[in-house]
Amino acid sequence: MNLKTAFSSRFKIGAAISRMNLECRGNMKFLLDQFSSFTVENDMKPMFFLDTEENLSDPETYDLEPCLCFDYAVPYLEFSKKNNMPMRGHTLVWHNQTPSWFFYNDYDESKGFVSRDKMLTRLENYIKGVLTFVQENYPGQIYAWDVCNEIIDEGDFRKSLWTKVVGEDFFIKAFEFARKYASPEVKLFYNDYNTYEEWKRDLILEKVLKPLIEKGLVDGMGMQSHLLMDEPELSLYEKALHMYGALGIEVQITELDIHNADASEESMNKLADRYKELFTIIVKTKDEGKANVTSVTFWNLLDQFSWLTVFRKERSHPLLFEGKCEAKKAYYSVLETVVDKDKIDKWVPTYSDDELRMITPLDYFRDMQKLMYHRINIEPSLDLFYEEFGFGDNYILSAQAGFYPFGMQQHLAQMGYHVICITLRGFYPSSYVTEDYGDRWYDVFAKDVVTVADKLHIDKFIYMGASHGAGVGWHLMLNNPERVTGFVACVPGPHSIDEGAMSIRQMLLSGIIKEPPPMDPPIDNDPRREKRRDFRAMHISHNLEPDPREKAIDYGRPLMKYKNEEKLREMLHTIQVPTLILGGMEDPISTPDLMLRAAKELPHCKMIMYSNTGHNIDTDLVEELCDEADRFIKQVQKDGHVYRMN
């Protein structure tokens, strides 16, 4: 007995797979053994189809018909064809993981948005190109497409570049183009999360599905179904399932998982019970004809590959299988909804260790990292890459050699700020450099921040940085104070001139020291911070090995051109930009004495120090620091200053 056999008379049972799964022979055998359909978790989203290099290098040729790349999709399509395994296509149109340059004149983010008509032409040709390639080369392999994904948010249509450039009817046009070019047998779906919430359910029914049904453009509703152990009440889920089904269209459960951070036997038993209750509802709904459920897809094969561990910032155990494709109790509870218990045999995976060996596709991950960023050319043969979070005109700019994906920048974007995170020149994915700027590195970095702001038509902004990123901030305050309305400085030093110019990073890389000093003190009775540190350590352990050209860079320490402490203090006293210093009392790098010295000299400074914290305070206490930053920024924007520390 297996999932695909048990549910074959009712609906397809699928799983999402990533490139890591695809590279593992055991995982792919497991997919074939248990499932009857699959979805590509990431590599068929818009940014993987839209060829950044080609479009940006020849925008005139591709102005109306963007150049497409199928290198990421083809390995999955080949697997589907070879094994005659149907696929769900995910996703043609999304606000996320769609490169911003797609919406701009000449594919240049410094040149303004294209017109509505031109954007619609680009959209049509993009959809036409993807569907034509798939249908001509792999006919019949993709049985359904998520045409649009997640267009509803906060009580209305989600604010995105699609609504800004095209308007709220962009999804209607996308479905029109998809219907025009899709093969007749291919089903077209709208896909979204939390589709059981009453306000969202009703909005999707009235503003999305019914208009599409009236035009004959949609075949089904995709309920993602990323659930929690205690939310939602499954009666709400059942009601939503019935209401979508009542429209006469198909319903597919497209991204199913149930987040559970507790791996104990008791908790896994509760997970099994919740899955059983959910599948009882789905099967009953199908059997009674209240909704035509045609597919249920789990969002990956195994617990250890679940996206939830990253998204929730804690180890998640949300699926039916784990480890070496071993079944959890939840697997049997799902089977019991359609098969008598005494007819269910034990699942015993027989994949060898060699088949289950994971091969990390390093080139793929480096390419994917680059695709996730925006690119901007600032000099001949020199590009800077940046990440963008949030919307609006309340800008925060930040520049560092690399960014932790769950730090202050991302959290401030959730609080309403428009955050631009610039990767410094010389560090991937920004262009590598061979020139040694000596004691001018931080001046060069600061100038790059201003250049990016100019290219993006940002006049004034808050600057925020931590550690060496704060070092960039000091040079911005000196060189371009007219552009910066406030400086949020986490563990900023500046270092003592007497300590020399070499950074801790370069001391490690050059072998002068074997390991860094302890950056953070031990944590007592604070499970939240312990979990965060564990997650941060896991994230760092997964980082790719730096390129030798990165290792060769010694950007030193900021403000080294001031040759003694007296001159450094004099310089600090001239900075008029309001500054918020955030630091840890047990930081061995940016020590409390160094930060207090800066706070005393700055004319407009507020300083907050936290006990039992060290150099990584910006990832230890994200919410606390962001709350202080938010208060500081609002005060500066209201009054133009902060009170000087006494």
Tens-digit pLDDT profile for residues 280-318: 999 999 999 999 999 999 999 999 999 998 888 788 999
Helices (H) and strands (E) in the chain, counts: 26, 21
CA distances from 184 to 76, 86, 88, 139, 181 (A): 22, 16, 15, 12, 9
Amino acid identity at 225: S
| Residue 420 CA: distances (Å) to CA of 334, 408, 611, 630, 642 | 45, 12, 30, 16, 24
Q: Is 16 within 8 Å of 40 (Cβ atoms)?
A: yes
At residue 41, φ and ψ (nearest 5 deg) are -65, -40
**Which stretch of DSSP H or E encloses residue 276?**
helix 265-287
Residue 536: pLDDT above 80? no
Report the pLDDT averaged over residues 110-127: 96
Average pLDDT over residues 450-471: 94
Count Cβ atoms below 10 Å from residue 492 Cβ, excluding itself. Answer: 28
The percent of residues above 90 in pLDDT, for the chain, comes to 74
What does the pLDDT read at residue 497?
65
Q: What is the pLDDT of residue 439?
A: 85
Digit-coded pLDDT (tens) for 55-74: 999 999 999 999 999 999 99
The three-point CA angle 363-369-374 to 5° equals 135
Confidence of residue 505 (pLDDT cuts 50, 70, 90): low
Tell me, rounded to whole angstroms, the distance of Cα 117 from its chain centroid: 30
- What is the predicted pLDDT for the residue at 645? 44
CATH topology of domain 36-192: TIM Barrel (3.20.20)
Closest CA to 485 of 463, 515, 516: 463
What element of type H or E holds 284?
Answer: helix 265-287
Q: What's the rounded mean pLDDT across residues 15-35?
A: 95
Q: Would you state the pLDDT for residue 509?
A: 66
Q: Which residues contact 557 (CB under 8 A, 6 or more apart)?
A: 471, 493, 494, 495, 499, 500, 501, 502, 503
Q: Give the mean model confidence (pLDDT) for residues 613-635.
A: 92
Q: 466 pLDDT band (50/70/90 cuts)?
A: very high
pLDDT band at 92 (very low <50, low <70, confident <90, very high): very high
Per-residue pLDDT at 544 exceeds 90: no
First to last CA, the chain: 74
Q: Is the pLDDT of residue 527 over 90?
A: no
Pairing of strands 374-379, 321-322: unpaired
Coil, strand, or helix at residue 383? strand
CA–CA separation, 578 and 602 (whole Å)? 8
- State how far the Cα of 476 lies from the Cα of 483, in Å rounded to an integer: 9
Q: What single-letter amino acid sits at 493?
A: G
309's CB contacts (< 8 A; 6+ apart) are 315, 316
Query: What are the residue boundaries of the structural domains of the chain, listed by start?
Result: 1-16+209-370, 36-192, 373-639
Any idea of the CA torsion for 109, 112, 115, 116, to the nearest 10 degrees? 60
| Confidence bin at 448 (pLDDT 50/70/90) | very high
> Given 124, 255, 322, 336, which residue is catalytic?
255
Q: Which residue has the tokens 């507020």?
A: 606
For the cut 80, the answer to whether the pLDDT of residue 368 exceeds it is: no
Of residues 367 and 320, more confidence is placed in 320
Structure tokens that stand for 150 in this block: 């997640």
Range name among 18-22, 413-417, 498-502 with the lowest pLDDT average: 498-502
19, with CB counted inside 10 A (0-12, 13-18, 19+), is: buried
Instruction: Collapse the DSSP code of 210 into the 3-class scheme (helix H, G, I; strand E, B; otherwise coil) and give the result.
Output: helix
Amino acid 627 reads D
The DSSP code for 432 is P
Q: What is the pLDDT of residue 498?
A: 66
What is the CA 340 to chain-centroid distance, rounded? 42
Q: Which fold has domain 1-16+209-370?
A: TIM Barrel (3.20.20)
CB 232 within 8 A of CB 277: no
Give the DSSP letter string of 290-333.
SSEEEEEEESSSSGGG-THHHHTTS----SSEETTTEEPHHHHH
3-class DSSP state of 360:
coil
| Average pLDDT, integer, range 328-337 | 97
Q: 115-124, 171-180, 387-396: which has the minimum mean pLDDT?
A: 387-396
- How far, CA to CA in Å, does 181 sit from each of 64, 135, 213, 489, 629? 17, 10, 18, 52, 49
Write the CA distances from 357 to 100, 306, 316, 366, 575, integer angstroms. Answer: 37, 18, 22, 21, 56
| Backbone phi, psi, residue 640, to 5° | 80, 5
Residues above pLDDT 70, as percent of the chain = 96
Three-state secondary structure call for residue 226: strand
Between CA 116 and CA 483 the distance in angstroms is 32
CA distances to 211, 213, 283, 585 from 204, rounded to whole Å, are: 10, 12, 23, 50
What pLDDT is stored for residue 529 in this prediction? 78
**What residues does 39 pair with on adjacent strands?**
16, 88
Predicted confidence at residue 364, as pLDDT, reads 79
Is 644 a residue whose pLDDT tops 70?
Answer: no
- Bigger pLDDT: 497 vs 207: 207
If pLDDT is split at 50, 70 and 90, which confidence band does 646 have? very low
Spell out the alpha helix ranges (H) of 456-525: 468-479, 504-509
Name the CATH topology of 373-639.
Answer: Rossmann fold (3.40.50)
**pLDDT surpasses 70 at 79:** yes
36-192 has the same fold as 1-16+209-370: yes
Question: Which one of the listed residues 41, 109, 124, 150 is annotated catalytic?
Answer: 150
3-state secondary structure at position 562: coil
The span from the CA of 611 to the CA of 524, in Å, is: 12
Average pLDDT of every residue of the chain: 92
The pLDDT-based confidence of 320 (bands split at 50, 70, 90) is very high
Least confident residue range of 335-344, 360-369, 628-637 = 360-369
Structure tokens, 45 = 């989203």
According to DSSP, residue 491 is labeled: S
For residue 494, whether the previous peptide bond is cis, meaning omega lies within 30 degrees of 0, is yes
Residues 204, 145: Cα–Cα separation, whole Å = 18
Active site residue 288: no
User: Tokens at residue 272, please?
Assistant: 């099994």
Concerning whether 545 is annotated as a catalytic residue, the answer is no
